Amino acid sequence: MSRLLVSIPALNEEPTIGAVVSAVPRRIPGIDEVTVMVVDDGSSDGTAAAAAAAGALVSRHSRNRGLGEAFRTALRTARREGFHYLVTIDGDGQFDPSDIPALLAPVTAGVAEISTCSRFLDEASPEGMPLVKRLGNRVVASMVSRLSGVRVRDATCGFRAYGPAAIERLGSFSRFTYTQEALIDLAWKGFSIAEVALPVRSSREHGRSRISNNLWRYATLSVGAMYSAAHDHMPWRFYGLPGLLMILAGICGEVFVFVHWLVTSAVTPYKGVAIAGLFMVVIGLLLLIVASLADTSSHNRHLLEEIIAEQTRRNRSGHA
């Protein structure tokens, strides 16, 4: 029996959350059971009550922990309760829940292990999207594509569907956002990613986007999340290669000064080169040590992920 968990992260979405929950289709091709869960991330209004009244399960954070933690709550629930599929959709009404079957189709058909709604698949932006936000999305998508090795046109959209293996193996650690981190992590693990063009509202019907209100903070934290996800999968490229280049440059500088000393019996006027060369060699060695430690940490993380995946499969078979 195929079971789907539709997770809706929400923070002060009382005006829209009930309509979003009610609009989630309960009959989807290839799915036998649909469960809707709202993750109330510390709302100060009636979001939780409105969600429960509409028929959703509610998992409530006592305080605002961020979108990344809301996603991990959904991921833990999907693993613990043995769900085969996980869909995430925002609670502000920008995405149409009736599009869930179309979003889920590539995953249930086995074409991809994760499918994500793309607002830019046809190289056009949603009507009314601010220029700064449009350019920011393009830059982030380019960065994610480079780090993951997979062409992605929309890396920040939260309307996504995850298959069984993605639920088992996905690693998420960022507190503020998880969208870019998840794509990089799954791409490096060899999972296929599909983008699905779906209609999206360009603006919220109620309230204002918390991300749009602080784009610089969002950009900074997004870069941090992408860096964290990428360097965990390729520590030698992030630390080892720069370390080797610094050691090589430092040694070249030291050799140059040494040859000059043999010829002239003086270090001047290259004393600064000698000091800089020694400094680069030391920093390069430290980077190699960091690369080695990061590589060991990465191996340990993968072992833990295997344990989590095995436990998830057991939970899934127990709910069959």
Residue 298: its pLDDT value, please?
Answer: 81
- Backbone φ and ψ of 123, nearest 5°: 65, 15
Residue 203: its pLDDT value, please?
Answer: 55
Residue 127: its pLDDT value, please?
Answer: 60
Helix then strand then coil, in percent of the chain rounded to 5, is 55, 15, 30
Kindly state whether residues 223 and 246 are assigned to the same domain. Answer: no
Given 208, 233, 258, the domain boundary residue is: 233
Given 233, 258, 291, the domain boundary residue is: 233
Asked whether the bond before 164 is cis by omega within 30 degrees of 0, the reply is: no
The residue range of the domain holding 310 is 235-317
Kindly state whether residues 229 and 156 are assigned to the same domain. Answer: yes
Kindly state whether residues 242 and 224 are assigned to the same domain. Answer: no
* pTM beyond 0.85: no
- Alpha-carbon distance of 278 to 253, in angstroms, equals 8
Kindly state whether residues 41 and 114 are assigned to the same domain. Answer: yes
Q: Give the residue among 221, 216, 208, 160 at the shortest CA–CA distance from 186.
A: 160
Kindly state whether residues 203 and 101 are assigned to the same domain. Answer: yes
Span between the terminal Cα atoms of the chain, in Å = 6
Given 204, 233, 262, the domain boundary residue is: 233
- Alpha-carbon distance of 320 to 3, in angstroms, equals 9
Residue 147: its pLDDT value, please?
Answer: 79
Position 220: which residue type? T
Kindly state whether residues 37 and 92 are assigned to the same domain. Answer: yes
Helix (H, G, I), strand (E, B) or coil at 31: strand
Residue 107: its pLDDT value, please?
Answer: 96
From first to last of its 320 residues, what are the pLDDT tens digits of the chain? Answer: 899 999 999 999 999 999 999 999 999 988 999 999 999 999 999 999 999 999 999 999 999 988 989 999 999 999 999 999 999 999 998 899 999 999 999 999 999 999 999 887 765 556 666 666 777 778 888 888 887 788 888 888 899 999 999 999 998 877 777 888 889 889 889 999 999 998 887 555 555 555 555 556 666 766 766 766 666 777 888 889 999 999 999 999 999 999 999 999 888 899 999 999 999 999 999 999 999 998 888 888 888 888 999 999 999 988 76
198 phi-psi bin (left φ>0, alpha ψ -120 to 50, beta other): beta
Helices (H) and strands (E) in the chain, counts: 11, 7
From the centroid of its chain, how far is CA 131? 23
- Alpha-carbon distance of 176 to 211, in angstroms, equals 10
Kindly state whether residues 157 and 297 are assigned to the same domain. Answer: no
Kindly state whether residues 250 and 229 are assigned to the same domain. Answer: no
Kindly state whether residues 126 and 199 are assigned to the same domain. Answer: yes
Dihedral of the CA atoms 202, 206, 210, 213 (nearest 10)?
70
Kindly state whether residues 124 and 65 are assigned to the same domain. Answer: yes
Alpha carbon separation from 172 to 15, 59, 119, 240, 259 (Å, rounded): 30, 19, 23, 24, 52
Q: Which residues of 22-42 are buried (b: 16+ CB within 10 A; e: fewer)?
A: ebbeeebeebeebbbbbbbbb
Instruction: Specify the number of domains making up the chain.
Output: 2
Contact 187, 143 (CB under 8 A): no
At 182, list the tokens.
């998840």
Residue 208: its pLDDT value, please?
Answer: 54
Kindly state whether residues 20 and 128 are assigned to the same domain. Answer: yes
CATH number for the domain spanning 130: value is: 3.90.550.10
Kindly state whether residues 246 and 305 are assigned to the same domain. Answer: yes
